[in-house]
Amino acid sequence: MKVVLQRVKEASVEVDQRKVGEIGKGLTLLVGAKNGDTEKDCSYLADKVVNLRIFEDNQGKMNLSALDMKAEILVISQFTLYGDASKGRRPSFTGALEPREAERLYLKFVQLLKEKGLRVKEGIFGAKMLVKIFNWGPVTFILESR
């Protein structure tokens, strides 16, 4: 699995011109699954996301986690994270996990984040979404389970 994590001042997601998720200070996560991913990948990344120390302490150092900050999280499914554009001009998505299993893992990942006690909002799996991200820093990390 892959997560593009962005620290945000605020973020929201709309589907069909209707806001389906919105957060204040916290994290926006773009999440993709690839062939061979399992629930272990979900667990590893959920733990990594909430414990990664990327929020500034009183001295201005990245020393606090999402758990420390009681940060909000917006999770967006994004299969294009496993698009391969190394050959030709059209990306190949053969490495991306098939939709039914990808959705199951996405929902498991969201559930694990919610179990950590943080406010978690999400987009709609497989929908065309308008995602508004106000990156704070900017701070962006790419996390992979393997």
What is the set of active-site residues? 78-80
Please give the Cα distance from 87 to 68 (Å, whole number).
43
Separation in Å, CA 37 to CA 74, 78, 83, 141: 21, 15, 16, 20
Please give the Cα distance from 5 to 16 (Å, whole number).
24
Residue tagged 């996990």 (tokens): 97
For residue 146, give both structure tokens.
Answer: 């393997």
Q: Where are the alpha helices (DSSP H) in 9-90?
A: 39-51, 66-69
Going by the DSSP 8-state scheme, the letter that residue 38 receives in this structure is -
